[in-house]
Amino acid sequence: MNIILSFAVIAYYTYATVYGNVYFRAKNPINEWWSNTIIYQVYPRSFKDSNNDGIGDLKGIIQKLDHFTDLGIETLWVGPLFKSPMDDMGYDVEDFYMIDPVFGTMDDFEELVFEMNKRNLKLMIDFIPNHSSYKCEWFDKSIKQVGKYSDYYIWRNASNHDELSNSSITPKPPNNWLSDLGGPAWTWNQRRNQFYFHQFGKEQPDFDLRNPDVKLQLLDVMEFWMFKGVSGFRFDAVNFLYENVSLLDEPFLPGKSNSTEYKDLDHIYTKTQPENVIIVLEWRAFMESYTKSKNQSISSLMATEVYSDYNILMEFYGNSTNPGAQVPFNLALVKCEKGDDLVESIDTNIKYWLADLPENAVANWVIENHDNLRMSSKIGALTVPMFAALKLALPGIEVTYYGFEIGMEDNMYLRPDQVTETILVTISKSSKTRDYERCPMQWDDSINGGFTENKKPWLPVNPNYYKLNVESQKKIPNSNYNFYKKMSQLRKTDTLKYGDLQTYNITKSIYILKRSLLERESYIVIMNFGSETETVLLSNIIHDVKDELYVYLGSENSAYNTGSIVSTVPSTGNPVKLRPQSVVVLSDKYIAPETPTINIQNAGTRIGSTLISLLSVLLLLRFLL
């Protein structure tokens, strides 16, 4: 079958089944600055502390900008910076026009933009359009029913409103809707004598996005920050923006009647409403209109966070007439777990995403973020270069969570008294906290991993920082850091920017990608997710592969060095033998072997010792003779 579709990095793709596997043929490049970019997610509290108060800040990010240029990163996505009481670590905004003092000042933000522009880096920031903090001035005015602010939020009478004249009667919520974090989605406000709605914590009242004044207010916020120099926004919690106006009770899932657990309701009225897509298209139109009004030659970038099925996510791309988000985050792999079906999950995500892409769309690949455990902790530390090779070799936009480049692991050593997150733990009464994956970046082996000189960072640094850090990995040729860096460099080649893609789901352990482009070199990525060494005869898998290939790059545990030659045919004695939990990247282009790195100091010591030994022998011979 041949299905014409648009896809990924900078190209449309034709999708077909070839030799039992999947082939995506590229054509018609899309030349935008974001088409093949690497987006690096900075969690500001945890990245770098410049003033030693124990919390990361804007000046800390500025100090580390050369880290991004060294890795080949082009776009920074910086987490919530707006003024906030931090009940949800910044996703509860008190003032949408102000930098929270814990991160610095507006001058610091402007300096960040200036320094990024000098390095040709783009800035994308978190934007929270679904709700504000309950400490926001707009919410206080809404409680008091001051002018237009009266209906900024979703207010409803109690379901037993007529009975409340009796002071002994407890107000009942308008319906059975529940918060995504657990507990009721309605909280009674004694001052206004009504319930307000919140998809998340009671500290995060939802905006009424059906109110034109609210929509205009949010556009004003977007314009404010675009004027300050941001190149795009990541829109948070987009699937929760609208609710059905009927206020009907949500039905229970089969066998779950009368449950008070969020997971036991079918959320047909509080999620995935058609208006969610419509407002995203409106926001994209506004952003494009703004850039044109300022005579800017480049478009702004729009990313959306939606955990949903593929068909729902594709709607957020919009179409050629009404474009939507360029990056509806592909979050399926974020939920991957260790197990026999890992390779199948990876293969399914790639095939579904590329096959379903609408015209003029670009694929994106996300495996980690601030709300989910890291792959190094869930699946294993050895898999980090495997996932790096996978997502950096795929066509489209790649998203990296801070610390992935060194294989940072979640700090599972946190004691209960060290957990700082309040919303998730308090509301859902869960032992799960997102603090594990939000611990400070590990820069070197100094105190607190070089994150801060304060005795007590906001969260403890993972104890393994003494050996797992940026500076130590820079010195190791095949470390996670240098593996990531070399794969980032490979992404700049025409083959990976514009080339065709073939995927091969071979076994429950072996997964293969091939990228090729006419009159250019080809690259083959082989990953072994299994527990045993596997022999891979590529000539039995890829019909047009050359008899010999060169190693472009191998993970530290792969036993392959750059420039080594491997055979693809069974008749020779040098086929690919890949160790468990390792990856190798091959090319049909000659690659010179790497010159071994010599430690000058140690070499000098060895030479000196050798000379002394020779001198001793000569003296002994002279004595004997």
Going by the DSSP 8-state scheme, the letter that residue 29 receives in this structure is -
Signed CA dihedral, 317, 289, 30, 32: sign only? negative
- CA-based diameter of the chain, in Å? 120
In Å, what is the CA distance from 321 to each residue of 303, 317, 359? 19, 11, 11
Query: From the candidates 49, 126, 236, 534, which is the catalytic residue?
Result: 236
User: How far is residue 95's CA from residue 517's CA, in Å, rounded to a whole number?
Assistant: 50
| Catalytic status, residue 264 | no
* Terminal Cα-to-Cα distance of the chain (whole angstroms): 88
User: How far is residue 341's CA from residue 339's CA, in Å, rounded to a whole number?
Assistant: 5
Phi-psi region of 237 (alpha: psi -120 to 50; beta: other; left: phi over 0): left
If you search the block for the tokens 């957990």, which residue do you land on?
Answer: 419
Query: From the candidates 305, 409, 435, 534, which is the catalytic residue?
Result: 305
How many residues in the chain?
Answer: 625
Q: How far is CA 219 from the centre of its chain?
A: 25
User: How far is residue 520's CA from residue 132's CA, in Å, rounded to a whole number?
Assistant: 51
Burial readout 227-244 (b: 16 or more C-beta within 10 A, e: otherwise): ebebbbbbbbbbbbbbbe
Q: CA 28, 33, 39 angle in degrees (round to 5)?
A: 115
Angle between helices 384-393 and 480-490 in degrees, nearest 10: 10
| Catalytic status, residue 236 | yes
Helices (H), 463-599: 470-474, 480-490, 494-498
In Å, what is the CA distance from 435 to each residue of 269, 335, 360, 373, 440? 31, 17, 38, 10, 10
Partners of 27 in the beta sheet?
A: 12
Catalytic (active-site) positions: 236, 305
